Amino acid sequence: MKYTQEDINLIEEKFDNIKAFLNEKERRIWCASEANCYGYGGISLVSKATGMAPNTIKKGKKELENGTLLEGTRSRAIGGGRKKASEKQRGLRKALLTMIAASTKGDPESLLLWTSKSLRNIADALAKQGFNISHSTVAVLLKKYRYSLQVNKKSLEGSSHPDRDAQFQYINSSVATLQQQEQPVISVDTKKKENLGNFKNNGAELCEKGKPVKVSDHDFPDKRLGRVVPYGIYNIGENSGWVSVGVSSDTAEFAVNAIRTWWYTMGLKRYPDAKDLLITADCGGSNGYRTKLWKYELNKFADESGLRIHVRHFPPGTSKWNSIEHKLFSYISKNWRGRPLLTRETVVNLISNTKTKRGLKIAAVLDENEYESGKGDKLSDEEIGSINICGDDFHPEWNYTISPRKMRQKIYETECNKKPS
């Protein structure tokens, strides 16, 4: 039976009116039903009018005849539809992941070693291996395989010492013991040195739109203004801090003087009956465990204060675990973000006004003393030998106690005055 153009237009109009409301299976069934109405030649007629393939309409007729319309809700049979690129092209997944991993790890054979790992570069590199894939498909696959854009993250701090965890436990045990005895426990370190002047300071600060604070387009140090060296003391038990803002070199003498200033300004008032002081510190820098001047100056402070000073150093590569880093310095950096550190007074005031909802309070002073670099190299053997230091059984290089020298003299005199048995 021949059908006119009018029949085609009529079916086309009806289909256009309802197809937006039908899923794939429902469109197939509708077309099959319409073809049945026209009898012989109906499949060809409906195919011309709707653009649906004749085989699809035939499939719909079979579903109507077999009553499969009432079974299930899937639009397609399991496994139906166009195959994904990763399924059609064998080895694509492995090639993609190998290429990404190799370019990250530095495989010299990787096609991406010296290029940006952009989606288009990855697609081009895969094409050179014989794969047909677009950059948009690369994006879909990478998301599926849990890849995303990431910035570099500072987290690698060298090889891990085998006794790292044991030292952490030793430090925690020491801190808990001294705190139970109501003795002061502090965390110390030097904050990053800062150049003074109208220089860019990382972070954003609220300003009138279109009127940001203008700073110099370079970061060359201003010789007239110089730089500052903040050395911090964080009282672990009290959630309070002290910062000595030095204007000279970051030396062990400067570090100990900062601790001394904190003690006589804040510590002694809080712990008037203290006999011991526990210090947790990094293993390097001005308060490093190898620094002889650090121990010599601590002994001078012990002589003055009468305190037994217990020192616990964090193992190499673990400085970020020191309490002062995330309990004190991080909040100082947040408080002065986006603000040029114009003068010494600016630094001191910004540090002093750093507070948190949990009650952190910080005092800061300017230390204008001049500290000589390399002074530790000038210590005589006699001065080094005079240090009243006793290492612990566990890693004595990291864990030691420095006692007042008069205490050693008293022990010596006691031993000498003993009557022979």
Looking at residue 307, what is its pLDDT? Answer: 97
Helices 42-50/54-66 angle, 10° precision: 120
Count H helices and E strands in the chain, helices first.
17, 9
Which residues touch 361 (CB under 8 Å, ≥6 apart)?
A: 239, 240, 241, 355
| Other residues' Cβ atoms within 10 Å of the Cβ of residue 302 | 23
Secondary structure class of 367 (helix, strand, coil): strand
Looking at residue 183, what is its pLDDT? Answer: 97
Would you give the DSSP letter of residue 314? P
Q: Which residue is listed with tokens 């006999």?
A: 275
Looking at residue 395, what is its pLDDT? Answer: 96
Looking at residue 213, what is its pLDDT? Answer: 56
Q: Which tokens belong to 283?
A: 């293993």
pLDDT in tens, the chain (421 residues): 677 888 888 898 888 888 888 888 889 999 999 999 888 889 999 998 898 999 999 999 888 888 765 444 455 555 555 666 666 788 888 888 877 765 555 555 555 555 567 888 889 989 999 999 888 888 888 888 777 766 666 655 556 788 888 999 999 999 999 999 999 999 999 998 887 765 556 654 545 565 555 556 556 566 677 789 999 999 998 999 999 999 999 999 999 999 999 999 999 999 999 999 999 999 999 999 999 999 999 999 999 999 999 999 999 888 778 889 988 998 888 877 656 676 889 899 889 988 888 889 999 999 999 999 999 999 999 999 999 999 999 999 999 999 999 866 554 455 444 444 3
| Other residues' Cβ atoms within 10 Å of the Cβ of residue 368 | 10
Looking at residue 420, what is its pLDDT? Answer: 43
* Strand partners for 235: 186, 240
| Residue in 325, 323, 305 with CA at minimum distance from that of residue 256 | 305
- pTM confidence score: 0.60
Cα distance between residue 183 and residue 177, in whole Å: 9
Looking at residue 353, what is its pLDDT? Answer: 87
Contact 342, 198 (CB under 8 A): yes
| Residue in 327, 342, 326 with CA at minimum distance from that of residue 228 | 342
Cα distance between residue 201 and residue 199, in whole Å: 6
Looking at residue 322, what is its pLDDT? Answer: 86
| Residue in 148, 96, 89 with CA at minimum distance from that of residue 121 | 96
Looking at residue 222, what is its pLDDT? Answer: 61
Can you spell out the DSSP letters for 161-229? PTTHHHHHHHHHHHHHHHHHTT--EEEEEEPPPEE-SS---SS-----TT-PPP--S-----TTT-EEE
Contact 239, 200 (CB under 8 A): no
**Which helix or strand (DSSP H or E) is residue 401 part of?**
strand 399-402
Cα distance between residue 314 and residue 177, in whole Å: 18
Q: Which tokens belong to 333?
A: 């950096």
Q: Which tokens belong to 257?
A: 């003087």
Cα distance between residue 90 and residue 255, in whole Å: 63
Helices 54-66/24-38 angle, 10° precision: 90
Can you spell out the DSSP letters for 64-118? HHHTGGGS---SS-TT-SPPPHHHHSTTHHHHHHHHHHHHHHT-TT-TTTTS---
Cα distance between residue 144 and residue 121, in whole Å: 19
Cα distance between residue 386 and residue 202, in whole Å: 46
Looking at residue 142, what is its pLDDT? Answer: 82
Looking at residue 418, what is its pLDDT? Answer: 45
